[in-house]
Structure 1
């Protein structure tokens, strides 16, 4: 059984794309899988209640499948920071509450389990806790998604330093191309990737080209072609 926490250098850098790609790759190898999105803002009202696009994508890659409520227990409508969305909903989400929900699911011992965070590593969960404390409490190695654009090297190094300071290993990182102009100079692009590989303490698990214009249902399988699975216990 291998379980990891998926974080990013920022919001909207491709955490879900990478997480679903890794789960798709594992499924293709006959492995049981689980993808969780403990807290999500930017949810839409449906006949089944508030649901989040990223959480639905993770649910689709789980085998055997789980209910939406198991995948995403805390769902909020405004597309704002999770602690602010929870405050607007008149509630507070705590690390204890998240651990109480997630720990039993991870105990099911799927071959690959991924817990996807929200935003970056230090996104607030409430007035006193960051969401990173969830990964610390569950003792999960971290997979870092680096949004490949100008400034990504500093963002990636600072995030890796924070992960290390919190006592967790970086199981690996994935580069996800956000700005095609960043890759226009192929030699410079290669130098940037080499700098990231040298600076980050974990192995590179893949470099994903721009797939945002691709149909949502096809993205996980497409991303899987560029990824390799992290080493678990």
Structure 2
């Protein structure tokens, strides 16, 4: 079974709590403005804080406690955003991982890490999304080796097609990766069959939704149970 079960595109505190109890150990918060799963923020005289209608840790202390107890990490997804905006969200949402989903350069990633670690968030980790539709696309990974902690492999920028699992044999990099690409309940056997030593997790999103940003927790719980059953 993958070490990391990341459920991406979440927004509602109660839904996040239910997904954590279902077995997920990483939650993705989408900070890409044109996404239907966008986590908004509210501008106030005191600065920028999470919008109470979206996700407010000051009013959802039970959620913050649950995430800590279950050792669930929060991953913020950004696309070609300003570094200062990313830093602000890391602070306000207590993010553990920053996932960069656009054309961010290795230099930008190094600068972002230096801005956050160690003064603002010691040990912050970075994840770079790479779009893979053919074996040749793995060449995109090489410039990021040593600059990112993880890759996330998906199929298209909008992540609307299933990943071709057979392509993974062509990945010769040294950085661990997570798989995305319309993963659903029917992929249990295919996931268990992956033998690549650097495949450490999977990313679940729209196939487990009842509405944008609202996850079907029963479906996720059943999926994770099937993964565990197949592992025995």
TM category, shorter: 0.3 to 0.5
By relative contact order (CA 8 Å, sep 6+), the higher-ranking structure is 1
Could you tell me the TM-score, scaled by structure 2's length? 0.43
